[in-house]
Amino acid sequence: MSQVIPQHISLPAEPCRIDTGASGGYIADMSSFAFDTHAAIKALTQAGFEEAQAEAVGATVSDAVGGNVAMKTDIERLEKRIEARIEALELRMTIRLGAMVFAAAGLVIAALKLFP
């Protein structure tokens, strides 16, 4: 038995945001979007699915979409966190390298004074 999922079931490409206007920022950022299981089940049953099958598909899609989808804003936040950690690591490495160069220079100077 071949069954076709209706073409009109679609998900938004980007998260919804509410622009604050003058500040240039956003007051709300939805990191996930709603999936209307009732509408999906109705559309699937109208397309020929049995009710149990439509409910199973609706529940599966709802679970998958509910918390396991990374939105663009999630990825941007993660990218900023990674960049900040890399910058902190670069600073620590620069300080350590400077300390090693300073210690090595001190050893060379001490060796030259002790063994002229």
Per-residue pLDDT reduced to its tens digit, 37-86: 788 888 888 989 888 988 888 888 877 776 666 778 889 999 999 999 99
Tell me which amino acid residue 38 is: H
First CA to last CA distance, the chain:
94
Among the listed residues 30, 25, 28, 36, the one whose alpha carbon sits nearest the alpha carbon of residue 15:
30
Per-residue pLDDT at 16: 45
pLDDT tens, position by position, 19-29: 444 444 433 44
pLDDT tens, position by position, 6-21: 445 444 444 444 444 4
Report how far residue 82's alpha carbon sits from residue 88's, in angstroms, rounded to the nearest whole number. 10
Distances from the Cα of 37 to the Cα of 2, 51, 66, 85, angstroms? 22, 12, 11, 40
* Predicted structure pTM score: 0.43
